[in-house]
Amino acid sequence: MLYKFDFSFLLEKWPAFLTGAWLTIQLTVLSIALGFVVGTLCAVARVYGGRTLRLLVGGYVELIRNTPLLVQIFIVYFGLSSVGLKLSAETSAVIALVVNMGAYTTEIMRAGIQSIHHTQLEAADCLGLTRLQTILHVVLLPAIERVYPALSSQFVLLMLASSITSQISAEELTAVANNVQSDTYRSFEVYIIVAAIYLALSLLYRLAFKAIGLIIFERRRRLGTAL
């Protein structure tokens, strides 16, 4: 093997990688938060909505889950701009990621909502809770607690998938890496470092979601038992 590894460019370029990682964190935290809201609303619509609404949400979920994120990003960025809606690369990236995240969250949350026993709803009825109160306190919170592990691994997958937005040159870690790569010609080294950063990020996200779970779900924190 004649190839000599050369990581010396790191001395000069490490701030770029840090910036890239920070941009990826901003991009994905925003997309995860919005996507979660969209997905939860859609899941409620899918379970409790009327027939038309259920069909619409079902179509949205199937459409998104059976097409590649890359193509979805292209449709938002290139497609919408050609029909007159000019968006920046970052805005397009967030929109595509939110739409994508929303579809997966809908499926996960639907499973959570359907796992709530109907006697819980009857009990809520007897206590005179309004429909909104029932959905919020009796259905959604316990549902989130039940599917929280699935949700958090979906969040981590979204963080990894956000690398695809580099293809429309949205500012994030992979795009930064592509720039460094074309400056230094050390493609292999650059992508090894980026892979390590993503690995660290996914570890960080997992720990963060675990901590958030412990803070939100009292039962799990106090008793150590799941729902």
Partner 1 sequence: MIQLNAHHIWYLIMAAQWTVLLSLLAFAGGALVGLPIALMRVSPSHTLRIVAGGYIQLIQGTPLLILLFLTYFGLGILGYKLAPLVAAGLALTLYAAAFLGEIWRGCIEAVPRTQWEASDCLGLNRFQQYAYVILPQAFRMAIPPTVGFMVQIVKNTSLASVVGFVELARAGQIVNNSTFEPFIIFCIVAAIYFAMCYPLSLASRFLERRANAGRASH
Q: How far is CA 174 from the centre of its chain?
A: 17
- Pattern 173-192, binding to partner 1, x per CB under 8 A? -x------------xx--xx
Check: CB of residue 191 under 8 Å from CB of residue 177.
yes
Q: Going by C-beta distance under 8 Å and a sequence separation of 6 or more, which residues neighbour residue 151? A: 36, 105, 108, 109, 144
* Structure tokens that stand for 177 in this block: 């890496």
Q: Tell whether residue 167 is a contact of partner 1 (CB under 8 A).
A: yes
Nearer to partner 1, 121 or 204 (CB): 204
- Rounded to the nearest whole angstrom, what is the least distance from the CB of residue 38 to partner 1 in the complex? 19
Q: Tell whether residue 78 is a contact of partner 1 (CB under 8 A).
A: yes
Check: CB of residue 92 under 8 Å from CB of residue 162.
no
Nearer to partner 1, 27 or 69 (CB): 69
Neighbours of 171 (CB within 10 A): 19
Q: Tell whether residue 47 is a contact of partner 1 (CB under 8 A).
A: no
Q: Tell whether residue 65 is a contact of partner 1 (CB under 8 A).
A: yes
Neighbours of 141 (CB within 10 A): 15
Instruction: Figure out which of the listed residues 25, 74, 91, 220 binds partner 1, where binding follows CB under 8 A.
Output: 74
- Rounded to the nearest whole angstrom, what is the least distance from the CB of residue 116 to partner 1 in the complex? 20
What is the rounded distance in angstroms from the CA atom of residue 81 to the CA atom of residue 68?
20
What is the rounded distance in angstroms from the CA atom of residue 120 to the CA atom of residue 214?
24
Total residues binding partner 1 (CB under 8 A):
38
Q: Tell whether residue 130 is a contact of partner 1 (CB under 8 A).
A: no
Q: Tell whether residue 115 is a contact of partner 1 (CB under 8 A).
A: no
Nearer to partner 1, 26 or 202 (CB): 202
